[in-house]
A and B are shown apart, each in its own frame.
Chain A
Amino acid sequence: MVEQDEVLIRRLAQGDIRALDELYTRYARPVYSLALRILADSADAEEVVQDVFERVWRHAPSYDASRGKFGTWLMSMAHHISIDRVRKQQRRPQASNDESNQLALERAVDREDVSETGLRNVEAQQVRRALRSLPEQQRTAIELAYFGGLSHIEIASALGDPLGTVKARIRRGMERLRSALSGIAIENDM
């Protein structure tokens, strides 16, 4: 019988390390892939995976399923840890540094995607497709924000666009992603 994540986290809270082994089986791949996407370095991504699962173990006793799904909580941790690491390594593009801006763009902009299984991954496929279908400028702005950890001011600086334009692109892009998840098609813009 397949145990739900919430059952495994309860077992982990009681000290059963085999539950962590099972959670690793389920989530190591998406955690590693997200960290690799953000950090573009396999050694850094490995460290993120270790940090994430250590935090899962540490916080298992205080995990509250009513506040959100385990997978969402776990991936949110993976995102925060990866972005913190990018910032600490000072890989963020500086306003005056064209070369590092370009690196951030190359790191953040989408690469080829592959399919997975499960309900969450059906949604991920929808968002992937929607991301690909966005006008390039909208997609770049959203990906720099999420995968690059940049503020809208930094994105405006990196792309050389006015702040208002960047904000508008993010709003339009996010609206299309929301629509993709809710199955509502909207017309192309920009």
Chain B
Amino acid sequence: MQTDNRDHIDELIDLYALGMLEPDDQQRSDAHLAACGRCRGLLEDARHVVDVMAFTPEQHDPPPDLRRKVLTRIERLQKTERQAAAYTRRPSLWARLFGSISSLRLIATVAMVLALLLGGQALLLRREIDSLQSEMRTLQPVADLLKQPGVQMIALTKQGDPTTIHGYMLLRPDDREAFLSTAELAPLPQGQTYQLWLINGDQPESAGIFSTDAQGVGYVRVQAQQPLGAYQAVGISVEPAGGSKQPTTTPIVLSQISTGS
């Protein structure tokens, strides 16, 4: 029973563990739990019960062919990713990239000629080419980074739900520069921005602001003050336009940077 501990959140702990809190209560609880070891202990006990509940349903054997389906799916994915990795490691990638850029330049030249001949339609084509070239310039640092040894990929997971992934960060622990791409982060209304934080101890350090497109995709070239291996976590919060010195809202993404071998 609560007495003088009016700030504790005993009444919310079980609902929190069951994932039932409304957003306001969730935010209040997160803020309190960050600073209260007693309530974190209560939450741990409640979570243990919830974890065990996953094993309580009546047990059914999965269909016999499901194992084959699972393994076939993973083998296919494994093969595809190995091919992709081998492709990005090939030295000829650069020749291919430059070849593509040369091709784009050629197309651009042709487009310019067409622009003289066909006017507006060709100008539209030129704009599309410019857009493609811009996209290639954006992605080139990723290709550069992937060529380096010891590159690590950190999954950016939703705060409180480690199974929902909102993107990945590519980094080398000794570097101060990294690359981050997001997925399914809804575009924000005017006046708000996403802000990336690198967290060392209890000290969040801003690593840039960014926006996302209609598909929730955004790219950030991260510039850190220290080598990235010095940070323990990476977070993303919603901040007022222009960003904040310190996070002013609960991070929607919070992931540990595990750089151990």
Contact = CB atoms under 8 A, between A and B. Distances in A.
Interface of A: 15, 17, 20-21, 24, 28-30, 32-34, 36-37, 42, 45-46, 49-50, 53-55, 57, 59, 61-62, 64, 67, 72-73, 75-81, 83, 111-114, 116, 120-121, 123-124, 126-128, 131, 142, 145-147, 149-153, 167, 170-171, 174, 177-178, 181
Nearest to B21: A151
A64 B60 CA distance: 29
Nearest to B54: A75
Given A145-B18, A170-B15, A113 B71 contact: no
A77 B163 contact: yes
B37 interface: no
Contacts, number: 155
Contacts of A145: 15, 18-20
B152 to A, nearest CB: 9
Contact of A151 (B11, B20, B63): B20
B252 to A, nearest CB: 16
Question: SS class of chain A's interface: helix, strand, loop or mixed?
Answer: helix
A17 B74 contact: yes
Nearest to B155: A62
A33 B67 contact: no
Interface residues of B, number: 46
B73 A171 contact: no
B71 A24 contact: yes
A17 B115 CA distance: 55
Given A59-B155, A62-B258, A33 B57 contact: yes
B61 interface: yes
Contacts of B22: 151, 153
Given A75-B51, A76-B51, A123-B52, A30 B59 contact: yes
A37 B53 contact: no
Nearest to A80: B163
B164 interface: yes
B128 interface: no
B58 A167 contact: no
Contact of A24 (B48, B58, B70, B164): B70
A121 B56 CA distance: 8
A120 B52 contact: yes
A29 B61 contact: yes
B149 interface: no
B49 interface: yes
Contacts of B46: 174, 178
Nearest to A18: B71
A76 B54 contact: yes
Contact of A152 (B20, B51, B59, B163): B20
